[in-house]
Amino acid sequence: MRMSKMGFKPEKLAPKDADTINHKLLVQAGFVRQLMAGVYTYLPFGLRVLRKIEQIVREEMDAIGGEEMLMPMLHPAEIWKKTGGWEIDVLFKLKSRTDREYALGQSQEEVVTPAMKEFIKSYRDLPRRPYHIQWKFRDELRSKSGIMRGREFLMKDMYSFHLDQADFDKFYEVAKKAYLKVFARMGLSAKVTEASGGAFTEKVSYEFEVPTEAGEVNILYCNSCEFCVNIDDINSYKPGDSCPKCKKEELIPAVAAEVGNVFDLGQKYTKAFDLKVATSTGEFIYPIMGCYGIGVSRTMGVIVEKFHDDKGIIWPAQIAPFTVYLIDIKKDKEAQEIYDQLTASGVEVLWDDRDINVGRKFTDADLIGCPWRMIVSDKSLATNEVEIKSRGENEIRMMKMEQFIDSLK
Shortest Cβ 143–a copy of itself spacing (Å): 10
Binding part of the chain for a copy of itself, among 61-69, 177-185, 273-281, 396-404 by CB under 8 A, reads 61-69
7 touching a copy of itself, by CB under 8 A: yes
Shortest Cβ 114–a copy of itself spacing (Å): 9
How far is residue 151 from each of residues 57, 105, 231, 258, 331, measured CA to CA in Å?
Answer: 21, 11, 25, 16, 46
Interface pattern 146-165 for a copy of itself (x via CB under 8 A)? -----xx-------------
Binding part of the chain for a copy of itself, among 53-61, 70-78, 238-246, 284-292 by CB under 8 A, reads 70-78
- Phi, psi at 266, each rounded to 5°: 60, -140
- Chain mean position to CA 227: 23
Interface pattern 289-308 for a copy of itself (x via CB under 8 A)? --------------------
Degrees (nearest 5) of the Cα angle 9, 155, 52?
45
Binding part of the chain for a copy of itself, among 133-141, 195-203, 207-215, 236-244 by CB under 8 A, reads 133-141
Total site size for a copy of itself, rule CB under 8 A: 48
* Contact set for a copy of itself, span 99-128 (CB under 8 A): 104, 111, 115, 118-120, 125, 128
- Chain mean position to CA 129: 20
What is the DSSP-derived secondary structure letter of residue 395?
-
Using the minimum distance from each CB to a copy of itself, give the nearer residue, 46 or 290.
46
**Residue of 80, 85, 137, 339 that binds a copy of itself (CB under 8 A):** 137
The burial class, CB within 10 Å (0-12 / 13-18 / 19+), for 324 is buried
**Residue of 13, 16, 36, 382 that binds a copy of itself (CB under 8 A):** 36
Contact 186, 152 (CB under 8 A): no
CA 306 – CA 188 distance, rounded (Å)? 8
SS3 category, 372: strand
Q: Which helix (H) or strand (E) holds 204?
A: strand 204-211
The burial class, CB within 10 Å (0-12 / 13-18 / 19+), for 18 is middle
Binding part of the chain for a copy of itself, among 5-13, 167-175, 302-310, 382-390 by CB under 8 A, reads 5-13
Shortest Cβ 383–a copy of itself spacing (Å): 37
Nearest to 368 by CA among 328, 401, 398, 323: 323
CA 385 – CA 399 distance, rounded (Å)? 5
65: left (phi over 0), alpha (psi -120 to 50) or beta: left
Shortest Cβ 376–a copy of itself spacing (Å): 26
Using the minimum distance from each CB to a copy of itself, give the nearer residue, 23 or 191.
23
Q: Residue type at 159?
A: Y
Shortest Cβ 139–a copy of itself spacing (Å): 5
* Contact set for a copy of itself, span 71-100 (CB under 8 A): 71-76, 89, 92-94, 96-98
Binding part of the chain for a copy of itself, among 53-61, 67-75, 181-189, 270-278 by CB under 8 A, reads 67-75
CA 34 – CA 40 distance, rounded (Å)? 4
What is the DSSP-derived secondary structure letter of residue 238?
-
CA 216 – CA 145 distance, rounded (Å)? 9
Shortest Cβ 111–a copy of itself spacing (Å): 6
Using the minimum distance from each CB to a copy of itself, give the nearer residue, 163 or 388.
163
50 touching a copy of itself, by CB under 8 A: yes
Interface pattern 212-241 for a copy of itself (x via CB under 8 A)? ------------------------------
Binding site for a copy of itself (CB under 8 A): 6-9, 33, 35-36, 39-44, 46-47, 50, 67-76, 89, 92-94, 96-98, 104, 111, 115, 118-120, 125, 128, 130, 135, 137, 139, 141, 151-152
